[in-house]
Amino acid sequence: MKMLMLFAALCGVAMAVPFDSAAYMGESAPMGLVDELTTLGFTKLVELIEMAGLKETLNTGGPYTVFAPTNEAIAMLGPVNLNNMTVLVNLLKSHVIEGKVMSTMIKDNMMAPTLMKSVPMRINMVTWWQTTTIGANGAEITLFDKMAKNGVIHGIEKVIYPIPYGNMMEAMEMIPGLSFTLELIKMAGLDSTLAGEGPFTIFAPQNIAWMKVPEMNITALKANKTLLAEILSYHVAPGAFYSTVIRPGTLITTVQGQKVLFNPKMCKKEGILYMYMNEATVALADQSVNNGVMWLMDDVFAKPMVF
């Protein structure tokens, strides 16, 4: 009887001791997001997080989803004043969305709330030759679903910037070099479309691009609103298309319903790397607005191959 009671007592003790499956399997327990970022090698991002005073928030709060730029991406960071604490904090917060979003939960043109509250992140998907590319504000996601105890980490190949306030028309109004394109858009009656919900992508010719077009052709376009709308429609497509997700041979349906072949390529001239889209020089790509993506072009698209 005493032996039975002793056995029962030992069982009770054993049941009271928590079972650490990670320790039993020789695995480390899950870490907070910042510690996991360090383990994964995102050390430059961790340095910025610590500079901004966000380590405790991201290590213990949440759950959050972090889109982590590589060390190489941060080293190539553009003209951003990281000594300005407000700029740095907002930049980092734009890489973090609220909640745990696994890759299986991502949908095309998904707008996810970031820690910047009113400034979302756009996540889009493009399938090309049975391969799907997923991007966050134009940065291709190259590493998926790395778990931490308070969220998940996805790796991206460049630093992303917050989506600014304002729609496509409002954004173009603020760029002097697009004044002639704006004039033509309004003449063609496309302004209400581009101010709408979207998303849209515009390959907007700058004023310098129209200067390359013979004046008699410009006059003819202004006199023929149908032709003008057709030419402009080659430059506007429903959907959010970033350079990271457009591959050679991509078919994009325009706002007029035509399937247009897009062929991006990179060429080097005098040691400088240029991007071309349908033989037109890209001056600036991947500019996010709240209803789409803007590209600034140094050439007007010739009539493309339509399918």
- Counting as low any pLDDT under 50, the low residues of the chain are 1-27, 306-307
State which CATH number among 1.50.10.10, 2.30.180.10, 3.30.70.20, 3.10.129.10 fits the domain covering 20-156: 2.30.180.10
CATH 2.30.180.10: which residues of the chain?
20-156, 168-297
What single-letter amino acid sits at 30? P
CB 264 within 8 A of CB 242: no
| This prediction's pTM | 0.68
How many angstroms separate the most distant Cα atoms in the chain?
Answer: 109
Fold of 168-297: FAS1 domain (2.30.180)
CA distances from 176 to 105, 148, 170, 291 (A): 40, 46, 12, 20
User: Could you read off the pLDDT of 69-122 as tens digits, one per residue?
Assistant: 999 999 887 656 677 888 899 899 999 999 999 999 998 888 899 998 878 898
CB 279 within 8 A of CB 299: yes
User: Could you read off the pLDDT of 213-245 as tens digits, one per residue?
Assistant: 999 999 999 999 999 988 898 899 888 888 877
CB 121 within 8 A of CB 111: yes
